[in-house]
């Protein structure tokens, strides 16, 4: 699945390592056809790490869903 209206793979994380983590998560979702509930559940688990707590922010979730084309 190709990105929809998203023009970059900046996922609104605070750090480059955070954006890299989300980029890998998105690639995994694309490769294995994971749905939004699975990916958002993974985001909730990742958020327990203080370094990536912003993964549950609305801006990050919107970037993920935009990139994966869930809510067109």
Is the pLDDT assigned to residue 1 strictly greater than 50?
no
- Return the percent helix, strand and coil in the chain, to nearest 5: 65, 0, 35
Domain boundaries, the chain: 16-68
Whole-number Å distance between alpha carbons of 64 and 3: 10
Residues 46-69 have pLDDT tens digits of: 999 999 999 999 999 999 998 898
pTM: 0.84
pLDDT of residue 72: 63
Whole-number Å distance between alpha carbons of 27 and 55: 16
Whole-number Å distance between alpha carbons of 65 and 59: 10
Q: Phi first, then psi: what are they for 7, rounded to 5°?
A: -100, -15
């Amino acid at each position: 699945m190709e990105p929809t209206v998203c023009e970059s793979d900046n996922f609104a994380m605070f750090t480059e390592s955070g954006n890299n983590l989300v980029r890998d998560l998105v690639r995994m979702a694309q490769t294995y056809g994971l749905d939004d509930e699975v990916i958002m559940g993974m985001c909730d688990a990742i958020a327990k790490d203080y370094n990536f707590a912003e993964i549950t922010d609305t801006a990050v979730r919107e970037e993920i869903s935009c990139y994966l084309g869930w809510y067109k």
